[in-house]
Structure 1
Amino acid sequence: MPASKAIATENSAPIIWVQGINKTYASGFQALNNINLEIKRGEIFALLGPNGAGKTTLISIICGIVNSTSGIVIADGYDTVRDYRTVRATIGLVPQELHTDSFESVWATVKFSRGLFGKAPNAPYLEKVLRDLSLWDKRNVKIKELSGGMKRRVLIAKALAHEPTILFLDEPSAGVDVELRHDMWRMVRELRAKGTTIILTTHYIEEAEDMADRIGVINKGELIVVEDKNVLMRKLGKKRLTLTLRQSLASIPAALIGWNLTLADDGSTLIYTFDTQEEETGIAELLRTLSEHHIEFKDLRSTESSLEDIFVSLVHQPKGNAS
């Protein structure tokens, strides 16, 4: 029986639609709690969260490896349970764990992975994948003889062998060398340019900040925020203006009490913390107020929150305050 399309797959429709997903194990542990998520076609979506937050469980459910307790997942227009085989043919997965057939050669493993999804042989394509991952010279080497970093490259090659439209990268940079990391992210950008949708989890938050279009943060099985990366950083990011004073202050003057200011212990530095939306008017007003009260400074510099700062603040704030 042919797989039945569940939703339209035009460019405007999400390529992945997750609705009401819950996962409770036999022990009673609830790994996921009412997850609702839409992933846009052709985007790079980064899923962040501390260890044990539910990232891998959610990915495994979307890929059809783990069954949810309740809820529905649609991937590229197909129900991931009812149309499992069709869905898996559209998905490539690079798992965290290094597991593959140790006694096969790199070429045989990648070729088999392509055939496993019913794809016709395409040696030039597989050669390109191996060359892009610096594996071509190792194509006839048995996997057991490769280093850990090379084995990670083989997992990526296997995930790409059947030309998936959706690619999951579950902590792909964990324990790999800098060269592989650069090769991998270059390839990710090329795939995205060709229309592949990429979902990644990572502990290297600077990678998510550099690569992702949108960010999702999951904590204790709940999706606490999903937002465009730039919007998220504007909404939740903080900036600091540090002013080095010409003369130290004993305390913050009364005229400045209403400002979000911190005075260094030695009285030589004032730090003004503000939202990005307050930047233009806030700084100008502060500097004017300082001038009116004859508080002079000899240097000033500004810094802003990184995505890592925002992530840490989100996962540590009280439940229900992530808006």
Structure 2
Amino acid sequence: MSIILYFKYRPEKNEGLCNQLMAIFRIIGETLYHSKQGNNVGIILNDFQTRLSSDTVDFNTNFSKISFDSFVDVNKLIQLLSKENILVRRPEEIDNTNQQNVVFCNRFPIRSMTQVESKETGLFIANNFPFAKKVVNIASCIVNLMSPHTKWKAIHLRIEDELKNFQEDPNADFENHINNQISQTLNMISAPDLSGVYLATGIKEGKYNKIVQMITKKLPHLFVANKMSILKDQPKLLNELNTLSLEEQALVDWLVCLGSPYFAGPHGYSFAYLAGYMRHYRGLDKESTQLWPGYQPLWDLWFPRI
């Protein structure tokens, strides 16, 4: 019997949604490569992780495991990858004696990829990857609710207090970061023909309301919403949203960013860059996606937009 080379995702400490998605996309890229080389390959599904609190500095130990199914429609993934001769297995389906045939992956590259391979992988993922149905349904509803606004843009607003954990200087002025993000956001939504803005953010209601007041004071013609506010008249969907883990709720935001006619966000964060990556390979107009500095060169090296 031929040996099967399995690839398995292993989460890094404090990884949020899009770093985890990058790891899964990495695994798919690797298995596609090895399958095309004629090797027997498979993917072993593994748990994801989610934050237990949002917009707080209590971050370092505040994670919990969540099922792979939280992000991914596993049945569709099995069907999709079987066409590429790639097996998909849950951990309990794998004989523990064969663990030496498992390659553990995260978002970091484990080999050099050609530009052709990077493009083929990007197109495959962006146009085929099956996200969890319950998350897709909520995101699709939000996009539909935003669509009456003739021209609207999704904005990734990354100002949650948890960012303080990642600052090189813990004494740095976090208010300067917030003000810079808000200033950039205002620049990105100041076009006179823009009628609606969707804020993809994990900030709490009080902080969100203050941001909305700042935006509408300067741009009173704009309709401004986030996932909670736009679903207020959809009690069933709002209840479904509230039952999701924080990473699943972030996935709702991220899928809205993928489905919006226009998107902008800070290049330095994986959430915004990976949204730009997916939009690029879905063939959306280049001008519809804006990623502002600071620049994070590693994203372009790890997941290039060819």
Give the alignment's TM-score, normalised by structure 1.
0.25
- Greater relative contact order: 1 or 2 (C-alpha under 8 angstroms, separation 6 or more)? 2
More strand by share: 1
Larger radius of gyration: 1
TM-score (norm 2): 0.26
Bigger helix share: 2
